Amino acid sequence: MRFGISTRLFLAMLATAVLTVVLVSGATRWNFQRGFIGYLNELALERMESLVPRLNERYAEAGNWDFLRSNGAERGKWFEMLRPVSGPTLPANTVGPGTVLTSDLTGAMLRLGVLDTQMQWVAGFRGIRPDMLRRAISFKGETVGWLVLAPFQSVSDGGDQRFGEGQARATIAISVLAVLMAALIAWWVSRRLAAPVRLVAAATHKLAAGDHAVRVEVDSPDEVGQLARDFNHLAHTLERNEALRREFVADVSHELRTPLAVLRGELEALEDGVRVLDAQAVKSLQGEVRQLGQLVDDLYELALTDVGALSYRMAPLDLCALLREIGESHRHRIEAAGLTLSLDAPAAMVQGDAGRLRQLFDNLLENSRRYTDAPGEIRVSLRAQGRHWQIEIQDSLPGVPEAVLSQMFERFFRVEGSRSRSTGGAGLGLAICRNIVLAHDGSILARTSALGGVSILIELPHEQHA
């Protein structure tokens, strides 16, 4: 039989409670039985100590034990002498209407006796045993008798036994009540703790079946609440990844379909004789093949950067010199497009891969040249910001709506209008740039430029010296 988590938790807590109650009850019962007998003996011993002075005084008055040996009315004197009184020790004959009496529930009166010097019985308890406690009764410095006490060996007297049985019944009743309360608490706690776990388990089954929209509503600050929040985050991530996967497949299909459709049309025109196979036709075909090859290369490189398989050879390099070199290589094309290029970069050392950083800045400058209207401006600046170097590449009009700036580094993203496919590629370049920056422990974001276009802000950490 398989039990659920709430049942197992309930049984574990109940078993722990029952075991604790049994151990505590058993230890309490054993300690009570041992301590109760000792307690009765101690009370009897105190009663015995208080009786010795009385016997000393009465023996001094009578001069012998005859006043206790009589079997008639004198026997009452022994019991009168045993009557306990509160306060200072008083002679037995002083007990009167004004004396405050205390009760004796220990049975000491029945276990006290008097022996003479020959160890012969005088009064009280008759069963003389070797283990009796003795106190000497003296007169004029000489021992004239003994006050003896038979100690408890077990709780066998009727009142004491009834008291012990009452304690046992009370212990059993309290133990049963404690077990019942423990069962109720264990049931409530197990239900309380297992309920959110069951919700997470049910949601996990739905998630495994492909329902990525499932969420768990658990408002708890403990580990179970953290588990629910992690599950919701996992479900959101899977849902987003699934949506991205579908978009990626659709985008790749679309990007591949376009050059293939053009190639098919060109080839069919050549085959039908609509178009002459000349240098112009071959050049057109080569252009479509080149675009298709570029798309495949970009997809391959993006896949490598996503899984971290792209090789990086980190080494100290002068970021300022690299930016100036890249800027000079682009200046001719930028100026030919009717744009101006300015560079403001102090000396800056970083730890990075020169080839990958060149690819990063080549892509960004090419995007700015391609998507900036003439006459326009491209401005590159480098400055220190805390423990990072900030590289900002700004261009002039046209700009990009702020609502889509955060999407510019997603795969296949292209802004409609001026930044369209007619002048650009497949929309993979910025996604590759983001992966290169992340591989250098940096960050990259897009925002509105002060020149009216787009500003790409990159942060790279300073070179770490050993």
Sign for the pseudo-dihedral over CA of 340, 458, 456, 413: positive
pLDDT at 405: 84
Contact 377, 396 (CB under 8 A): yes
What pLDDT is stored for residue 273 in this prediction? 81
Cα end-to-end distance, the chain, whole Å: 62
Cα-based distances in Å from 91 to 54, 88, 96: 5, 10, 11
Q: What percent of the chain has pLDDT over 90?
A: 13
Q: How far is CA 364 from the centre of its chain?
A: 45
Closest by alpha carbon to 448, among 416, 417, 402?
A: 402
Q: Which residue has the higher pLDDT, 111 or 344?
A: 344
The answer to whether the beta carbons of residues 374 and 397 sit under 8 Å apart is no
CA distance 332 to 338: 10
- Which has more confidence, 331 or 296? 331
Q: What is the identity of the amino acid at 315? A: A
pLDDT score at 417: 41
From CA 193, how far away is CA 224, in angstroms rounded?
A: 8
Contacts 24+ apart (CB under 8 A), 95-104: 104/47
35 forms beta bridges with none
**Mean pLDDT score, 159-188:** 74
Q: For residue 392, what pLDDT is reported?
A: 94
Is the separation of the CB atoms in 380 and 393 below 8 Å? yes
Cα(111)–Cα(97) distance, integer angstroms: 27
Contacts of 141 (CB under 8 A, 6+ apart): none
Give the per-residue SS3 of 141-201: CEEEEEEEECCCCCCCCHHHHHHHHHHHHHHHHHHHHHHHHHHHHHHHHHHHHHHHHHHHH
Q: Are 113 and 123 in contact (CB under 8 A)?
A: yes
Q: What's residue 5's pLDDT?
A: 65
Distance CA 227, CA 237 (A): 15
SS3 content of the chain, % helix, strand, coil (to 5): 55, 15, 30
Long-range CB contacts (within 8 A, 24+) of 113-121: 113/147, 113/148, 113/149, 113/150, 114/55, 114/65, 114/68, 114/78, 114/145, 114/146, 114/147, 114/148, 115/145, 115/146, 115/148, 116/65, 116/144, 116/145, 116/146, 117/143, 117/144, 117/145, 119/146
Q: Lowest mean pLDDT of 133-137, 322-326, 360-364, 429-433, name the range.
A: 429-433
Q: What is the pLDDT of residue 73?
A: 45
CB 380 within 8 A of CB 391: yes
Percent of the chain scoring above 70 in pLDDT: 77
Q: Where in the chain is the domain with CATH 3.30.565.10?
A: 315-461
Q: What CATH topology corresponds to 315-461?
A: Heat Shock Protein 90 (3.30.565)
pLDDT of res. 460: 93
Q: What is the average pLDDT value for the chain, to the nearest integer? A: 77
Q: What is the pLDDT of residue 107?
A: 62
For the chain, what is the total number of helices (H) and then of strands (E)? Answer: 10, 11
Which pLDDT tens digit goes with each residue over 100-144? 344 455 566 677 888 888 888 888 777 777 778 888 888 888 888
Q: Between the CA atoms of 65, 71, 77 and 81, what dihedral angle is there, to the nearest 10 degrees?
A: 70
Closest CA to 378 of 389, 392, 390: 392
Which has the minimum average pLDDT: 273-287, 385-399, 439-453? 273-287
pLDDT at 197: 77
Residue 86 tokens read as: 């509160």
pLDDT beyond 60 at 423: no
Give the single-character DSSP code of 94.
G
pLDDT at res. 90 = 44
Q: What is the DSSP letter of 338?
A: T
Calculate mean pLDDT across residues 170-184: 80
User: H-type helices in 209-353, by residue range?
Assistant: 223-272, 279-307, 319-336
Cβ neighbours of residue 129 under 8 Å, at least 6 residues apart?
A: 150
Q: Please give the pLDDT value at position 106.
A: 57
What are the tens digits of pLDDT across the range 235-290? 888 888 787 677 667 767 766 776 787 788 888 888 888 778 888 878 878 877 87
Checking if the pLDDT of 159 tops 60, the result is no
CA 8 vs CA 29, 191, 276, 344: distances in Å: 31, 11, 83, 70
Q: Is the confidence at residue 211, as pLDDT, over 90?
A: no
- Domain 223-307 matching CATH 1.10.1370.30: the answer reads no
Range with the lowest mean pLDDT among 30-44, 81-95, 270-284? Answer: 81-95
Distance between CA 279 and CA 286 in Å, rounded? 10
pLDDT of residue 38 exceeding 60, the answer is yes
Structure tokens belonging to residue 231: 């599950």
pLDDT of residue 341: 93
pLDDT of residue 173: 81
pTM of the entire predicted model: 0.47
Ranges in the chain annotated CATH 1.10.287.130:
223-307
